[in-house]
Amino acid sequence: MAKAFGATSTTDEVLEGVDLSGKRILVTGVSAGLGVETARTLAAHGAQVVGAARDLRKAHAATEEVRAQATRVGGLELVELDLASLASVRACADALVAAGKRFDLVIANAGVMACPFGKTSDGFETQFGTNHLGHFVFVNRIASLFNPGSRLVNLSSAGHRFSDVNLDDPNFENSPYTEFGAYGRSKTANILFAVEFDRRHKAKGVRATAVHPGGIQTELGRHLSPEAIQQLIDGINAANATSGQPAFDWKTVPQGAATSVWSGIVASADEVGGLYCEDCHVAELSEGEGIRGGVRAYALDAEHAKALWAKSEEMVGERF
Q: Verify whether residue 183 is a known catalytic residue.
A: yes
Task: Using alpha carbons, list the distances in angstroms from residue 49 to 141, 154, 263.
Answer: 19, 17, 17
Q: List 103's β-bridge partners, or say none.
A: 146
Single-letter amino acid code for the residue at 225: S
Single-letter amino acid code for the residue at 254: P
**Does residue 46 come out as left (phi exceeding 0), alpha (psi in the -120 to 50 range) or beta?**
left
Q: Verify whether residue 156 is a known catalytic residue.
A: yes
Choose the catalytic residue: 156, 157, 163, 263: 156
Q: List 107's β-bridge partners, or say none.
A: 27, 153
Choose the catalytic residue: 85, 187, 251, 312: 187
Choose the catalytic residue: 183, 186, 260, 276: 183
Q: Verify whether residue 177 is a known catalytic residue.
A: no
Per residue, what are the HEC states of the chain?
CCCCCCCCCCHHHHCCCCCCCCCEEEEECCCCHHHHHHHHHHHHCCCEEEEEECCHHHHHHHCHHHHHHCCCCCEEEEEECCCCCHHHHHHHHHHHHHHCCCEEEEEECCCCCCCCCCECCCCCEHHHHHHHHHHHHHHHHCHHHEEEEEEEEEECCHHHHHCCCCCCCCCCCCCCCCHHHHHHHHHHHHHHHHHHHHHHHHHHCCEEEEEECCCECCHHHCCCCHHHHHHHHHHHHHHHHHHCCCCCCCECHHHHCHHHHHHHHHCCHHHHCCCEEECCEECCECCCCCCCCCECHHHCCHHHHHHHHHHHHHHHCCCC
- The residues that are catalytic are 156, 183, 187
